[in-house]
Amino acid sequence: MYKHLLVPLDDTALSSANIITAVELASRLDARITFFHATPDYSATGEGALIMTLEPTMFVEAALGDTNVLLSKAVACANAAKVSCASAAVISDKPAEAIIEAALGHGCDLIVMASHGKGRGALAGWLHSTRTERVLRQSPVALLVTRVEAARPITDAERALAIIQDEHRSIAVVVQSMHDLVNEAQLAKREPDFNSLTRMLSYLREFPSQLHHPKEEMHLHRLLRLRVPDSDALLLDVESQHLTEHRLIDRVSFCLALQDIAAEDGDEALADAVNSLAAHVLRHIGLEERSVLPLARLHLQAADWTEIATAFAANDDPRFGDLPTEEFRRLFTRIANRVADTKLSN
């Protein structure tokens, strides 16, 4: 029986769907997961070498790319399912070889991947110079291919659900990071990182409050009410939780403003406000994923999913996994990198 899965990541809808599949598999097997990402060597490019010389800080952010974004959201997905997990990354321009080395180095007994494939055929389509094919041919570790996209393309329902759940993971990473920031500061008897908290709060105020929640209500909830009239009580509860989240965000913002007035009392109030916000948001995400999304899977029609996928895809333009604008993408990347740096230093 497999007990340790290696799950390679990239920033595509197929990879996001594969994470969910791998987490469900690990839960059933009582196995743990190591999420893995191979980052290309940015310093080997002409642009990278120039930035490394002129702007070292900018180079570090560019060299990391989406690594910490992808890893942090995958870890959040496993944590939500109470699956034991870790994350790892390397710089490599040979991702297949890096995946095999990671599986061996971390003692994994199963690699779980999906393949984009090529052409129209199933097996013939992907057994042609793909990363998955190279892993299959070279790895001494067992490989589970969860899906060949060329043979079974992602549906609108899968795409919509993957985006919604990916956004849930982003929100969960931010509120958990805020919680960790204030509680670690309290234990160390020092001030929390107010700049990071302010950036995280800005993300919550602008992204879930202004984009994610309204689109859920305008599209997913409206269509669910149409197809399942009995869902109204559940959806009203979810929507009231959106309003509560707004109020809790305002409370955190007020407590941050108090810091200049009452240091010690302000720290206590801030910690309490952040903890309340984090607990509420994580419970809310759990309710949506345990109740609302399964109901949608059962009752919504193909045209409904097309509408939802189109609406939420605008949040992800131009690539799956990115935030709705370049500014949001940079903000979340900085948050994810800050979380990774903190874990390394602890």
- Tokens representing residue 337 in the block: 């990198």
How much of the chain is helix, strand and coil, in % rounded to 5? 70, 10, 20
Higher pLDDT, 67 or 23: 23
> What's the pLDDT at 314?
76
Whether a cis peptide bond, with omega within 30° of 0, leads into 318 is: yes
Handedness of CA 298, 302, 308, 310 (dihedral sign): positive
By DSSP bridging, strand 85-91 and strand 142-148 are unpaired
pLDDT tens, residue by residue, 206-256: 889 888 999 999 999 999 999 999 999 999 999 999 999 999 999 999 998
- Nearest CA among 136, 153, 152 for reference residue 144: 136
On whether the CB atoms of residues 224 and 295 are closer than 8 A, the answer is: yes
The confidence band for 16, taking pLDDT boundaries of 50, 70 and 90, is confident
Q: What count of other Cβ atoms lies within 10 Å of the Cβ of residue 26?
A: 24
pLDDT tens, residue by residue, 97-141: 999 999 999 999 999 998 876 544 444 444 444 778 889 889 999
Q: Which stretch of 159-173, 252-266, 326-340 has the lowest confidence by average pLDDT?
A: 326-340
In CATH, which of 3.10.580.10, 3.40.50.300, 3.40.50.1460, 3.40.50.620 is domain 4-148?
3.40.50.620
Backbone angles phi, psi at 121, to 5 degrees: -70, 160
Q: What is the pTM of this model?
A: 0.77
CA dist 99 and 9 (Å) reads: 10
Q: Do domains 4-148 and 156-345 have the same CATH topology?
A: no
Average pLDDT for 47-66: 45
Report the chain's mean pLDDT, rounded to a whole number: 81
Q: Which stretch of 13-27, 122-136, 171-185, 282-296 has the lowest confidence by average pLDDT?
A: 122-136
- Domain definitions of the chain by residue range: 4-148, 156-345
CATH topology classification for 156-345: Four Helix Bundle (Hemerythrin (Met), subunit A) (1.20.120)
pLDDT tens, residue by residue, 32-47: 999 998 887 644 444 4
